[in-house]
């Protein structure tokens, strides 16, 4: 799976959890999941579980703690799937 495909899938996973429609419309790799998209920390756990299912990976707690932006998520998933 290419990095662009991972990015599209990551955005698809995050979309239902995002509360800020304007930030979602302008989403990029630099978009902060908690601050910009207004995803609360409990929902971030749900997003991590969705990533695990969607990409058939395991995201350790320490790795999950380091995901702040959409780009962070893409980078982690690309590393785990390659």
**Each residue of 8-67: pLDDT tens digit?**
999 999 999 999 999 999 999 999 999 999 999 899 999 999 999 999 999 999 999 999
- Asked if residues 13 and 53 have their Cβ atoms less than 8 Å apart, the reply is no
Residue-range domain boundaries for the chain: 3-81
Domain formed by 3-81, architecture: Orthogonal Bundle (1.10)
The closest of 3, 49, 59, 13 to 33, measured between CA atoms, is 13
pLDDT of residue 74: 98
């Amino acid at each position: 799976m290419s990095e662009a495909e991972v990015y599209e899938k990551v955005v698809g996973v995050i979309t239902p959890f995002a509360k800020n429609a304007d930030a979602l419309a302008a989403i990029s790799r630099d978009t902060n999941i908690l601050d910009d998209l207004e995803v609360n920390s409990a929902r971030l756990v749900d997003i991590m579980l969705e990533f695990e299912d969607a990409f058939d990976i395991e995201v350790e707690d320490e790795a999950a703690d380091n995901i702040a932006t959409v780009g962070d998520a893409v980078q982690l998933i690309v590393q785990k799937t390659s």
